[in-house]
Amino acid sequence: MTLEELEQGKAASLAEIAAVTDAAGVEQLRVKYVGRNGSIPALIKAMKDVPKEERPAFGKAVQAWRAEVEAALAAKGAGAATGGAKAEDVDATLPGRWAAPGVEHPLSRVIADTARIFGKLGFTVADGPDIETRFNNFTALNTPDHHPTNDRTDTFWIDSAEIRGEGTARTAEDLLLRTQTSPVQIRTMLANKPPVRVICPGRTYRRDTTDATHSANFHQIEGLYVDTKPVSLADLKSVLAYFAKEMMGDSVTVRFRPHFFPFTEPSVEVDFSCHVCKGKGCSVCKQSGWIEVAGAGMVDPRVFKHVGWNPDEVSGYAFGFGVERIAMIKYGIPDIRWLYENDLRFLSQLV
């Protein structure tokens, strides 16, 4: 085929396409010209027989023909997307293709939501290491060396005289896996000047036997607010009430029950009203209408002394809650182990 014949062939094909009026005709011409065995692909295959010096010009002309024919066909409604199929051939009731998008893990979500909620109140996020000293995890938090939580049966110790088999001497530098996020309170106060307003999410470790509600490794979020102006228990309650509503829904309220923690005085345990039964009593709240979620209280003056702050000049509150606990009640998860098994059949339900 000469270049001239090629131009004629192109003109004829375009005229043919311009004249066609129905979809079946368009499809026929698509097959005839650009289909797998169509005449334009045949020309491309035949290129090897074209004299070498004519090949570039010939090739260009064939490509231009193909482009023009495809454009003309597309303008007539023959589309690659439908592969030339007619509208009535498309079954719109077939399920779409599943793209399997990832979802945020419920624990990550609770932590991110908490940071966002407290962020609105001016709290920033503070961080601390999982391996702590006895001083930060216990002593500075007014928990004496003889307190049972210091014991080897409750805490994962990493380094101490006892671990090394060198006797029973206890020092401030002994190392352990933190049993709570409260040592980040100490780090924050040692590194800053009042006022401080932080939340500290992180992993915590205890020698607990794993069951549906316990895990040797879980997460807490600590909160600490200390200021040179007076801070009261009512401030703490209002902040936690705000958090409860933002996290669990508008109907949720908080109640305080007297409790004891070595590092707060007074200390309270914090309950949220049950978001499922709205306080009437159901299986989630064990018929009580309330769910225990946090420990809290006013920072004990002894803690301020340990970090070198004058308890007559500052006051503040602290709270700490379990991330797993919030996730379990919020998403109705009955077994804490589900949060660690990474079973997609479970995780992907929490979209």
Which residues of the chain form contacts with ligand PHE (CB under 6 A)?
Answer: 180, 182, 222, 261, 264, 295-297, 318-320
- In whole angstroms, the minimum distance from the beta carbon of 267 to ligand PHE comes to 6
Q: Give CA angle at 216 (213, 221), nearest 5°.
A: 80
Q: Are strands 315-322 and 290-299 parallel, antiparallel or unpaired?
A: antiparallel
Strand segments, DSSP code E, in the chain are 124-125, 131-133, 157-159, 175-177, 196-205, 217-227, 254-261, 264-273, 290-299, 315-322
Question: Quick one: 261 or 309, whose CB is closer to ligand PHE?
Answer: 261
Q: Which residue is nearest to ligand PHE (CB)?
A: 320
- In whole angstroms, the minimum distance from the beta carbon of 325 to ligand PHE comes to 11
- In whole angstroms, the minimum distance from the beta carbon of 261 to ligand PHE comes to 4
Record the tokens describing residue 301, joined without a space: 């003056």
Question: Quick one: 43 or 294, whose CB is closer to ligand PHE?
Answer: 294
Question: Quick one: 34 or 293, whose CB is closer to ligand PHE?
Answer: 293
Question: Quick one: 13 or 180, whose CB is closer to ligand PHE?
Answer: 180
- In whole angstroms, the minimum distance from the beta carbon of 200 to ligand PHE comes to 10
d(CA 208, CA 191): 32
- In whole angstroms, the minimum distance from the beta carbon of 162 to ligand PHE comes to 23
Question: Quick one: 188 or 264, whose CB is closer to ligand PHE?
Answer: 264
Give the dihedral sign, CA 283/285/287/289: negative
DSSP, residue by residue, 261-313: ETTEEEEEEEEEEPTTTTTS--TTTTTSSEEEEEEEEEEPHHHHHHTT--TTT
Question: Quick one: 65 or 256, whose CB is closer to ligand PHE?
Answer: 256
Q: How many residues can be counted in the chain?
A: 351
- In whole angstroms, the minimum distance from the beta carbon of 351 to ligand PHE comes to 31
